[in-house]
Amino acid sequence: MLITYSPEGAPPEMFDCDFRKISLSRATMLESRYQKLTGNTTATLEELRMSAIQGGSAATRVALWHVLDLQHMGKVRIEDVDPLVGEVEVKASKAEIDQLRDAIAKNTGLSDSQREMILAGLDAMSAPEDTSGKAASTTSEAVTG
């Protein structure tokens, strides 16, 4: 997923966050923080990812905390990550959209019209190209994760 963080008075930072490329211990930590914020004790990393892409505030906050914490080498507390709604934007990456397109195209449970409608919606998302799995930041070195 692509995260753009634009705090007031600072240049925007852009991160490419790939949850498939993190350790299981980090995934567990992210799930735990997301579960605590939402009260959903069974929420998974994939649910966090999808919720962030769909604009869920708790998931967006956890995803932003994740990339900021990586950038600052474990020194960011989630309690300190509380941006304004308009300061953070999360989108599916091009790789995620391509993966969804492939899955929808192969789904035999959909009618042709359903498939076409879903594929058109994915095409409309028009995510920018990935940055090779790295978080590109305008103010610091690239951060993976």
Please report the pLDDT score of residue 116 as a whole number: 86
Tell me the pairing of strands 88-91 and 2-5. Answer: antiparallel
Residues 86 and 37 in one domain: yes
- Which pLDDT score, from 0 to 100, does residue 139 have? 36
Give the list of residues 6+ apart from residue 71 with CB closer than 8 angstroms, or none: 15, 135, 137, 140, 143
Q: Is the overall model pTM greater than 0.85, yes or no?
A: no
Residues 26 and 87 in one domain: yes
- Cβ-contact 57, 65 below 8 angstroms: no
- Ranges of the chain with pLDDT below 70: 125-145
Quote the pLDDT of residue 128. Answer: 52
The whole-angstrom separation of Cα 143 and Cα 73 is: 10
**104 and 53, same structural domain?**
no
Q: What is the CA radius of gyration of the chain?
A: 16
Structural domain count of the chain: 2
Q: Give burial (CB, 10 Å; 0-12/13-18/19+) of 42.
A: exposed
Q: What's the pLDDT at 145?
A: 62
DSSP annotation of 139: S
pLDDT given at position 99: 82
pLDDT at 37: 96
Same domain assignment for residues 9 and 60: yes
pLDDT at 103: 83
- Same-domain check for residues 9 and 71: yes
Which contiguous run of DSSP H or E holds residue 121?
A: helix 112-125
Q: Are residues 101 and 89 in the same domain?
A: no
* Structural domain of 56: 2-93+130-144
109 and 65 both lie in a single domain: no
Q: Are residues 72 and 53 part of one domain?
A: yes
